[in-house]
Structure 1
Amino acid sequence: MQGYFEKEKENMLHLLERIVNIDSGSYQKTGVDKVGNILIKEFAQLGFIADVHEVPDKGNNIVLKHEEATNPSILLIGHIDTVFPAGTVAKRPFKVEGDHAKGPGVFDMKASHVMTLYALKCLISQNNDAYKNVYIIINTDEEIGSIVSRELIEATAKKVEHVFIMEPADLDGNVVTGRKGGGKFFLKIYGKSAHSGVAPEKGASAIQELALKIVQLHELTKWKGIHVNVGLVSGGQSVNTIAPFAEAGIDLRFETQEQGEFAQAKILEICSFTETPNTRMEISGGITRPAWKTDESQHELLLLMKDAASELNIDLGTTYSGGGSDGNFTGNMGVPTIDGLGPRGGNAHQDDEFMVISSLSERGQLLVKVLEKLNK
C-alpha cells in the first residue's frame, strides 16, 4: 500500500497543483465550481456518479456514489471553498518547498480531496470493494458556516452508520473527536449625527452605545464553557462628528448545546435595548453550528481507527477543537463521527499555510485501512 502512494506521488501533486491554483473563496462561484468539476471528472474515472445540487450564488454541492454501490454505510465529507479573496493565486500560487506544499487552501483542505481520491484508487487497485461502501459529499460553503449544505449533509448522514470529516490533521496527526459549537451575530446601532464641537448635545453616539454593549457581551465569557468575542467593529462619520452609525460582528463559542442556547438568549437580551438616548439597534444571526461532544457511540469507531493506525505503526492521538466543522452537524446528530482525517500541516487561513507532502501517503494509507476494516 505504501508503494502505491509513493508511485502516485507526482500524480497527486499535479492534481493538487491544478485545484490549488484556482481561486475558490466561498463567494467565488465560478472558481469553486471549476474545482468541483475537476474532482467530478477525476472520480468519474473510478466509476463514481455525481449528484450535483445546484446553488445559484455559491458553488454547487456534490454527492458522489459509485455506480455499483447499493447502500453505503460510510460518509466522507470535505469542502472545496477557501477563505482567500480573488487574486490570491496570482500572488502566491502552488509551490513545493522540500516536504511542504504551499498555496491558498492547500492544507484547508484541497489536499484532502486528492488524498481521498487516491485512497479509493488504491482500494480499486487491490480489488477491494470497500470503495463501494462510501458516499462522498463535496460541499462549497463550509468556511462560511455550511449554511446551504447543512441540510444535504444531515440528510445524507441519516443514511449511514459512520461519518469521517476529511478536514486536515494538525502536525501531530491527531484526529478530532469533538468540537465547540458556534454562532455569529451582527449588531447595527443607529444614532444621530451632530458637530462634536459646536452642538454635541444634538447628537446621539452609536459608537458610545456600541462600547457599552461590547463590555456586556464580553462579560458573558465568565460563564463556564462560553466564550464571546466582538471581533469586528466599525462606525462613525468623521472624528469631529457624533457617530450616527456603528456595527459589530460577534462570535460565540460553547461546549454544550445548553450553554449555547443560554448564551444566545443573553446576547439577544443585551442587544434588545439601548442605554444611550436617541439610539436604536438591530441584531441578527444566531447559532450556526451545534456543539459536538464525544459520546459512547463514537468510542467503538475510534478504537477501530486506532487499531488501523497501529497496524501502520502510527501513534494516533485525539484532540478536542474550539473551531467548527461539518462534524458538528453529524456528531450532534449522534452518528459516530471522526474528524481530521486529512493530511498533516499547519497555518490554515494564513499566507504561510502548508501541507506536509509525505503525509499524503501516511494519511491515505490510514483511510484505506479504516475503510477496509469497516467493510468486513
Structure 2
Amino acid sequence: MQTPTATEQAILDRAADAPMLTQVEQWAKVNSGTGNLAGLKTVAGLLADAFAALPGTVRLVAPDPVESVDAAGTVRTTQRGDHLHLRVRPDAPVQLLLTGHMDTVFAADHPFQSLQWREPGVLNGPGTADMKGGIAVILAALKAIEASPLAPRVGYDVMINSDEETGSHASAALIAELARGKIAALTYEPALPDGTLAGARPGSGNFSVLIHGRSAHAGRNPEEGRNALVAAADLALRLNALKSLELKVNPAKIDGGGPNNVVPDQAILRVNMRPMTPAAMTAAEVALRGTIANIQRDHDVHCHLHGGFNRPPKPLDPAATRLFELVRDCGAALGLSIGWNATGGVCDGNNIAACGVPVVDTMGPRGGAIHSSDEFLITDSLAERARLSALTIARIAERGTV
C-alpha cells in the first residue's frame, strides 16, 4: 500500500470538502426522466453552470435521432435531450474519459418526485444514487486535481448523457468519439451499499419483431387467416428456449390482437437478450434470425426485425484488470476495501470497453434500490468516493499510465 504523498493528501482534502450533498439535493429535485425533455434541459443547464468552474470548454451536444417501434408497428423517431461535454487540455500527455448520465427512470408523472431522509446519512430520492451523486463526485474530484501541481499532466473529456437509462442510443456515437485515444475511463454508476464495484458485464440487445399475418373471420373462414398473435407467442417460446449460461433471454411483451371474431394479422414481440461474451453475442444474433425464419416458414407469416445489440459484453481483460487493481490499491491507501463482482446489468461502461479502453464503471457513491421508489444514497460516501476518484486520477497522472 502506497501512503498518499503530501501533494496527494492536499488533493484528497480538497475533494472531500466539495459541496456534493448540496449539489445532489439541487439536481435531484428536478425530474429528469429520459423522456422529460424540459426537465433534462433544466438539469443540463445546472450541470453546465457547475462544470464551467473547470477549465476548458463546456458545450451541449445535440442527441442523435433514435428510432423505435410503437404498439401499432410504426417506426417512429424519438427525441432525446442534449448531452453535456467538457474538454480540458486535449494535448496533455495523459488523457482520460469520465462519464455519467443526467437522466433517471422516473417519468415526469411518476409519483416518486421528492427527497426525504430515511435515517441520518441515508437520503431517499429519485436519481440520488443513480446518478446525480456520481456527477457530484466527478466534479469534486476534478476540481481537486485542477488545484494541484499535477493538473498540467492530465487532460480529460467529461460526458454526461441524457439517455443512458434507455440504452444510450442517442449518445453512443459521442461516447465512441470521446473514448478514442484515452488510456482509461471512469464511469460513475453507484457502487453497491457495501462499496463493491461491478466487474464484468454481459452485453444487451433490445429487439422488436413485427409479425404480419392475414386477417380472416374467426368462425367462417379462420383457415384462410394467418394468426400473427399465435406466431408471436410461438416465437417468444422458441427464443426463451435459447437461454443458457452464456445467454439470458427475456421475451418481455407482445403487442397485437383485436376483436375475438377476427384472426389478428399483426403482432409485435419485444425481447431482450444478454450475452456474456462477444462470441455468445454473435451466436445469439444468428439464432435470433434463424428462429424468426423458422416462424415465417411454420406460420406462413412475414417478419421484420428491428433493433440490435447496443451494449456489447464487457469482459475483464488484462488492461481492465490493471485499472481495477489501481482503484483497489488507491482504496487501500484510504482505508477502503475495494472488491468487484460480475453483474447482470449494463451501462455506458460496456460501450467504452468495446472501444478498447479499460474502464471502471461504478466509481459513484454507495447506494441502492435504484430504479425504484426506495432508491437511496449513503451520503457519507460522497466524500469517500470523491477521494477515491481523485487519488486514482492523480496516480494515473503521476505514472503516465494505468
Considering the TM-score relative to the shorter chain, is it more than 0.5?
A: yes
Aligned amino acid, residue 288 of structure 2: I
Matched, 1:252 2:273: yes
User: Which residue number corresponds to residue 352 of structure 2?
Assistant: 330
Evaluate the alpha carbon distance shift between residue 39 and residue 73 of structure 1 in structure 2; reply closer, same or farther with a 3 A threshold: same
User: Which residue number corresponds to residue 339 of structure 2?
Assistant: 317
User: Which residue number corresponds to residue 115 of structure 1?
Assistant: 137
What SS does the aligned partner of 1:297 have? Answer: helix
Aligned amino acid, residue 160 of structure 1: K
Gaps of 5+ in 2: 1-8, 65-78
Is the contact between residue 124 and residue 131 of structure 1 (CA under 8 Å) also seen in structure 2? no
Count of equivalent residues: 372
Evaluate the alpha carbon distance shift between residue 327 and residue 277 of structure 1 in structure 2; reply closer, same or farther with a 3 A threshold: closer
Is the contact between residue 16 and residue 140 of structure 2 (CA under 8 Å) also seen in structure 1? no
Q: How far apart are the structure 2 equivalents of 1:114 and 1:175?
A: 18
Q: How far apart are the structure 1 equivalents of 2:349 and 2:39?
A: 25
**Pick from 209, 218, 228: which aligns with 1:196?**
218
Evaluate the alpha carbon distance shift between residue 119 and residue 286 of structure 1 in structure 2; reply closer, same or farther with a 3 A threshold: same
Is the contact between residue 204 and residue 276 of structure 1 (CA under 8 Å) also seen in structure 2? no
User: Which residue number corresponds to residue 304 of structure 1?
Assistant: 326
Is the contact between residue 106 and residue 112 of structure 2 (CA under 8 Å) also seen in structure 1? no
Q: Following TM superposition, by how much is the alpha carbon of 1:161 offset from its aligned partner in structure 2, in angstroms?
A: 0.5
**Pick from 26, 32, 35: which aligns with 2:34?**
26
Evaluate the alpha carbon distance shift between residue 163 and residue 7 of structure 1 in structure 2; reply closer, same or farther with a 3 A threshold: closer
Q: How far apart are the structure 1 equivalents of 2:52 and 2:288?
A: 47
Q: How far apart are the structure 2 equivalents of 1:275 and 1:124?
A: 63
Q: Percent identity?
A: 29
Normalised to the residue count of structure 1, the TM-score between the two structures is: 0.90
Aligned amino acid, residue 362 of structure 1: E
Evaluate the alpha carbon distance shift between residue 322 and residue 190 of structure 1 in structure 2; reply closer, same or farther with a 3 A threshold: same
Is the contact between residue 130 and residue 372 of structure 1 (CA under 8 Å) also seen in structure 2? no
Aligned amino acid, residue 314 of structure 1: L
What SS does the aligned partner of 1:112 have? Answer: helix
Q: Following TM superposition, by how much is the alpha carbon of 1:277 offset from its aligned partner in structure 2, in angstroms?
A: 4.9
Q: Following TM superposition, by how much is the alpha carbon of 1:22 offset from its aligned partner in structure 2, in angstroms?
A: 1.9
**Pick from 37, 45, 51: which aligns with 2:45?**
37
Is the contact between residue 23 and residue 87 of structure 1 (CA under 8 Å) also seen in structure 2? no
Evaluate the alpha carbon distance shift between residue 130 and residue 19 of structure 1 in structure 2; reply closer, same or farther with a 3 A threshold: farther
Q: Following TM superposition, by how much is the alpha carbon of 1:7 offset from its aligned partner in structure 2, in angstroms?
A: 4.9
Matched, 1:359 2:381: yes
Aligned amino acid, residue 45 of structure 1: A
User: Which residue number corresponds to residue 78 of structure 1?
Assistant: 100
Q: Following TM superposition, by how much is the alpha carbon of 1:119 offset from its aligned partner in structure 2, in angstroms?
A: 2.1
User: Which residue number corresponds to residue 57 of structure 2?
Assistant: 49
Q: Following TM superposition, by how much is the alpha carbon of 1:132 offset from its aligned partner in structure 2, in angstroms?
A: 5.0
Q: How far apart are the structure 2 equivalents of 1:51 and 1:168?
A: 25
What SS does the aligned partner of 1:136 have? Answer: strand
Matched, 1:160 2:182: yes
Q: How far apart are the structure 1 equivalents of 2:83 and 2:192?
A: 26
**Pick from 230, 235, 238: which aligns with 1:208?**
230
Is the contact between residue 76 and residue 135 of structure 1 (CA under 8 Å) also seen in structure 2? yes
Normalised to the residue count of structure 2, the TM-score between the two structures is: 0.85
Q: Following TM superposition, by how much is the alpha carbon of 1:245 offset from its aligned partner in structure 2, in angstroms?
A: 2.3
Q: Following TM superposition, by how much is the alpha carbon of 1:238 offset from its aligned partner in structure 2, in angstroms?
A: 2.9
- Cα RMSD for the two superposed structures: 2.4
1:222-233 matches, within 5 Å, as 222=244, 224-233=245-254
User: Which residue number corresponds to residue 313 of structure 2?
Assistant: 291
Q: How far apart are the structure 2 equivalents of 1:289 and 1:114?
A: 25
Is the contact between residue 133 and residue 375 of structure 1 (CA under 8 Å) also seen in structure 2? no
Evaluate the alpha carbon distance shift between residue 232 and residue 131 of structure 1 in structure 2; reply closer, same or farther with a 3 A threshold: farther
User: Which residue number corresponds to residue 261 of structure 1?
Assistant: 282
**Pick from 97, 100, 103: which aligns with 2:122?**
100
Aligned amino acid, residue 13 of structure 1: L
Matched, 1:63 2:90: no
Gaps of 5+ in 1: none
Q: Deviations over 1:198-231 (max 9, x none)?
A: 5544543221111211111111114x40121101
Aligned amino acid, residue 44 of structure 2: G
